[in-house]
Amino acid sequence: MKWSRRDFLKVVAGSGGIGVIGATQVDRLLGLGRKPEGKPIYVPTVCEMCFWRCGVIAKVVDGKVVKLDGHPAHPQSRGKLCARGHGGIGLLYDPDRLKHPLIRVGQRGEGKFKKASWDEALNYVAEKMLKIKETYGPESVALFTHGTISTYFIHLLWAYGSPNLGMPSYALCRGARDIAFKLTFGAPVGNPERADLKNSKVIVLMGFHIGENAHNSMCQEFAEAVGKGATVIVVDPRFSTAASKAKYWLPIKPATDLALLLAWINVIITEGLYDKEYVAKYTEGFDKLAEAVKEYTPQWAEKETDIPVSLIIETARIMGKNKPSVLIHPGRHTAWYGDNTQRVRAIAILTALLGAYGRPGGIYLPPKNPLSEYGFGDFCGVPYPEHQKPEINKGPYPFTEEEGVIPEIIKATLTEKPYPIKGWLITGTNLIKSTPNQRDTIEAIKKLDLVVAVDMMPFDHVLYADVVLPECTYLERYDDIFVVKERSIGLALRQPVVNPMYDTKPGWWIAKELGVRLGLKEYFPYNDFEDFLKAKCEALGLNFEELKQKGYIEIPGTANPYINESSEVKFKTPSGKIELYSKQLEEAGFPPIPTYTKHEQPPKGYFRLIYGRVPVHTFSRTTNNPSLWELMKENAAWLNAKVAKKLGLKNGDYVVLVNQDGVKSNKVKLKVTERIRPDCVYVPHGFGSFSPMLKRAYLNGADDQQLITRYAVDPISGSVGMRINFVKIEKA
Ligand SMILES: Nc1nc2c(c(=O)[nH]1)N[C@H]1C(S)=C(S)[C@@H](COP(=O)(O)OP(=O)(O)OC[C@H]3O[C@@H](n4cnc5c(=O)[nH]c(N)nc54)[C@H](O)[C@@H]3O)O[C@H]1N2
Ligand SMILES: Nc1nc2c(c(=O)[nH]1)N[C@H]1C(S)=C(S)[C@@H](COP(=O)(O)OP(=O)(O)OC[C@H]3O[C@@H](n4cnc5c(=O)[nH]c(N)nc54)[C@H](O)[C@@H]3O)O[C@H]1N2
Ligand code: SF4
Ligand SMILES: [Mo]
């Protein structure tokens, strides 16, 4: 059966789904009384409406972007875009954009600014940064960053001499997953994830809601697999869009997934359903694993998870029968409870037992990379200075990486221990929405000598900035070349589709201008970004003009999806094998095989607060986008129908959520539904902005982060579990 765009839409459209941005809407955005009539030109570029980074073909008429389509050759778009990708035009022409540099005149948080020139604003920041360096040392400046702008600002931070970097995409997102996969297989699962979805016969999604989580080619491959008859098993306390495509929906009691995984491993081993040859050849520690999981019987797991024994056994058998083409998706946002690394380790172990790592339909292998590593830092050829003080950003977590644990930096700022942090650079992340315990974040800001926000939109955190530096959008700028690591290696170029509007500048320019003012000129040896791009292309053996014209170039002969059984395979773990039993964890004082820990369940009268994605928005960043706002203006809190009846609440009622610490949400509409367990409330993430500078997003529903005053940090990875908060419901 051949899958068409319509079938793709069916998957993605499950819950309000994909939206098509109408032509009249574009006209309105452009402020045109009529459609542009000139001859269209088509410019290839790369999307940044989320971090899947699809290839885009932009249609430009009379200097205006009138349409965005998926790049047909780019493996992550395959000729299609999701609603958010189409909605890039709404970002470009959003009248609420930051239009020129700003310097604060009121109190931090008040959002009162005066217009400034770039020179004034950059000099202000550089002066303060030099002062902090002189008084406290460079380590006292921290950077919070997300997205492509990170390339330039991490370079600037390291050149300045600070290690204190925090990326929300790490400890608040995929950090635990990367570490668990490295510990087990010697390599992270990658971005895009190396999930061989289109060839899977069984797909297991644990709290991973494809369709609402709208990563483009992943949705396309999921649709393809479903079309070919793959069995889908969805483990989620909520009947997600993916659950509507599933044969099995297992409405698990939240926080107990590790019990289910251990029981599945138990059944696979006791019933001899594992891939014996693969396990013998490629793995280490099987006997110890078999011994350790004996206690985790399906009978035991039923009590923990609320999933009947018969279903635990039946689903395990289906996996065993279809091995190795079984994809147990490792997830992406894996920051759930305090044991995230061990939970994802259990997924990795189950994957290995089924022989699914490096086999069709499981996790494919990384492509062969013939390219020399040529990062942004390599261009200048000047080494970074050594920092003189310990890094705060990694906390006490032995396996965490340089991308850091944001709450550790916030804690240090508050306590001034082990040393004071006095400056924050915030680039491309809405720290207020992405980070738990907003009160701590706001209190920490009060202690700072400098807060800088480099953003496109006046989101919540911008209100607290001393200086606001407006970046132009991805449609108006060059960025560093993307090395795409899908099944093959490819190179993709983001290039300006139109000239920057207003007095906005690209991130590479802002970082360079700051660098020059900080006396770090040798780290930024370019005038124009094309100098850098051309040098990089040369180093990579590529023709820049060809890349500009095509937008995406694949490097032939780099695909390496499956294990070649006839040659020796070495995993990049200490033993060279897949480590079911992890000596690295043992040596660091952690259980070498995942063990189950119980988490607290909601007290009487309270519900567990869970959250997730909606297909037409990316976190908070799109909530003011005129096109996407029209598709979904505010969020609604999901509540089980029987519970609602008991509480005397109806669908559409406005309520306030109050958490265990007495913190109240904005008023939010109630979605009364059978599609959620009675012990949970589900709030789509990213809504409820309190920035009055956003005409559409201002107070548009509830902000889940406001209610996340508590978090549980995973002692292995520093992953910040945010699903340990409980709420009760009051009528608004
Ligand atoms: N409660 C809760 N917290 C979460 C999550 C959750 O689901 N619930 N999800 C977690 C996850 S998985 C992640 S990855 C993080 C995401 O965290 P963030 O990336 O911080 O998410 P956003 O809220 O979208 O904030 C993005 C900010 O960057 C700006 N921005 C967007 N594009 C650009 C650009 O090109 N240039 C510049 N300069 N600025 C830009 C936007 O205007 C916005 O202010 O949040 C994490 N935190
Ligand atoms: N449209 C859209 N797509 C996106 C994004 C976006 O902002 N918008 N963001 C992208 C990014 S950076 C990331 S990290 C991914 C995140 O996407 P996912 O990795 O899929 O993560 P979440 O959005 O946190 O997933 C929430 C799901 O977990 C379920 N859940 C809650 N608690 C539990 C539990 O204890 N057990 C189980 N089994 N399930 C539970 C919720 O009901 C919900 O269905 O999405 C990416 N794709
Ligand atoms: S998945 Fe959608 S928003 Fe993300 S990069 Fe692709 S088109 Fe853009
Ligand atoms: Mo994420």
Average pLDDT in the chain: 95
DSSP reduced 3-state for 701: coil
The verdict on the CB of residue 49 being under 6 Å from ligand 3 is: yes
pLDDT in tens, 49-74: 999 999 999 999 999 999 999 999 99
pLDDT higher than 80, residue 516: yes
Q: What value does the mean pLDDT take over residues 130-156?
A: 98
Structure tokens at 325: 């083409």
- CB within 6 Å of ligand 1 — which residues? 48, 146-147, 149, 168-169, 172-173, 333, 427-430, 433-434, 454-457, 459, 471, 474, 611, 618-621, 685-686, 704-705, 708, 722
How much is the average pLDDT of 583-603? Answer: 98
Q: 184 Cβ partners below 8 Å, 6+ apart?
A: 345, 348, 349, 352, 573, 578, 579, 580, 582
The CATH class that applies to domain 102-171+372-492+501-542 reads alpha beta
How many C-beta atoms surround the C-beta of residue 33 within 10 A? 7
Pocket test for ligand 1, best of 46, 150, 172, 706 (most atoms within 8 A of CB): 172
Is the distance from CB of 330 to CB of 177 less than 8 angstroms? yes
Atom number of ligand 3 nearest to Cα 215:
1
**What is the C-alpha to C-alpha distance for residues 405 and 124, in angstroms, rounded to an integer?**
28
Is the pTM of the predicted complex or chain greater than 0.75?
Answer: yes
Q: What pLDDT, on a 0 to 100 scale, did the predictor assign at position 29? A: 52
Q: 36: cis peptide before it, omega within 30°?
A: no
For 265-277, the pLDDT digits (tens) are 999 999 999 999 9
Query: Per-residue pLDDT for 540 more than 90?
Result: no
Point out which residues pair with 556 in neighbouring strands: none
Helices (H) and strands (E) in the chain, counts: 25, 27
Going by C-alpha positions, the residue among 160, 129, 168 that lies closest to residue 377 is: 160
Does the pLDDT at position 32 exceed 50? no
* H or E element in which residue 617 lies: none
**pLDDT reported for residue 36:** 64
pLDDT for res 2: 36
Instruction: Find the 215 Cα to ligand 3 centroid distance in Å.
Output: 6
Ligand 2 mean position, distance from CA 334 (Å): 8
CA torsion sign for 96, 97, 100, 106 is positive
CA distance 401 to 315: 35
Query: Which pLDDT value is given to residue 18?
Result: 38
- Ligand 2: residue of 312, 610, 620, 719 to mutate (most ligand atoms within 8 A of CB) is 610
Does residue 14 have a pLDDT over 70?
no
pLDDT at 7 over 60: no
DSSP category for residue 387: P
- Average pLDDT for residues 21-34, to the nearest whole number? 49
| Closest-lying ligand 3 atom to the alpha carbon of residue 70 | 7
Considering only the top CATH level, what class is 607-731? Answer: mainly beta
Distance 696 CA to ligand 3 centre (A): 22
Please compute the mean of the pLDDT values over residues 336-350 and round it to a whole number.
98
Neighbours of 640 (CB within 10 A): 22
At residue 374, the pLDDT reads 79
pLDDT band (50, 70, 90) for residue 460: very high
Output the pLDDT for position 34. Answer: 56
Q: From the CA of 503, how far away is ligand 3's center (Å)?
A: 27
Whether ligand 2 lies within 6 angstroms of the CB of 193 is answered as: no
Question: To the nearest whole percent, how much of the chain has pLDDT over 70?
Answer: 95
Three-state secondary structure call for residue 594: coil
Give the nearest ligand 3 atom to 56 CA: 7
In the chain, the amino acid numbered 351 is: T
> Are the C-beta atoms of 213 and 613 separated by less than 8 Å?
yes
Instruction: Please say whether the structural domain 191-365+573-587 has been given the CATH code 1.10.1740.10.
Output: no
User: Of the ranges 232-246, 534-548, 663-677, which one carries the lowest mean pLDDT score?
Assistant: 534-548
User: Which phi-psi region, left, alpha or beta, contains residue 305 (left: φ > 0; alpha: ψ -120 to 50)?
Assistant: alpha
**What mean pLDDT is predicted for residues 21-45?**
66
Task: Find the mean pLDDT for residues 30-50.
Answer: 81
Any idea which ligand is nearest the CA of 53? 3
214 lines ligand 2 (CB under 6 A): yes
- Which residues make up the CATH 2.40.40.20 domain(s) of the chain? 607-731
Among the CATH numbers 3.50.50.60, 2.60.40.1180, 2.20.25.90, 3.90.180.10, which is that of 5-92?
2.20.25.90
The C-alpha atoms of residue 642 and residue 12 are separated, in whole angstroms, by 28
pLDDT score at 19: 40
Q: Where in the chain is the domain with CATH 2.20.25.90?
A: 5-92
- Residue identifier of the C-alpha nearest atom 40 of ligand 1: 428
Ligand 3 proximity of 210 Cβ (cutoff 6 Å): no
Is it the case that residue 160 has pLDDT exceeding 90? Answer: yes
Give the list of residues 6+ apart from residue 133 with CB closer than 8 angstroms, or none: 140, 141, 160, 161
Report the separation in Å between the CA atom of 336 and the middle of ligand 2, taken as the mean of its atom positions: 10
All CATH 3.40.228.10 domain ranges in the chain, comma separated: 191-365+573-587
Q: What is the pLDDT of residue 37?
A: 76
- For a mutational test of ligand 3's pocket, the pick from 57, 77, 221, 616, i.e. the residue with the most ligand atoms closer than 8 A to its C-beta, is 77
> DSSP E strands: which ranges in 62-210?
64-70, 102-104, 113-115, 141-145, 165-166, 202-206
* Ligand that comes closest to the CA of residue 85: 3
Which residues belong to CATH 3.40.50.740 in the chain? 102-171+372-492+501-542
Residue nearest to atom 38 of ligand 1 (CA): 455
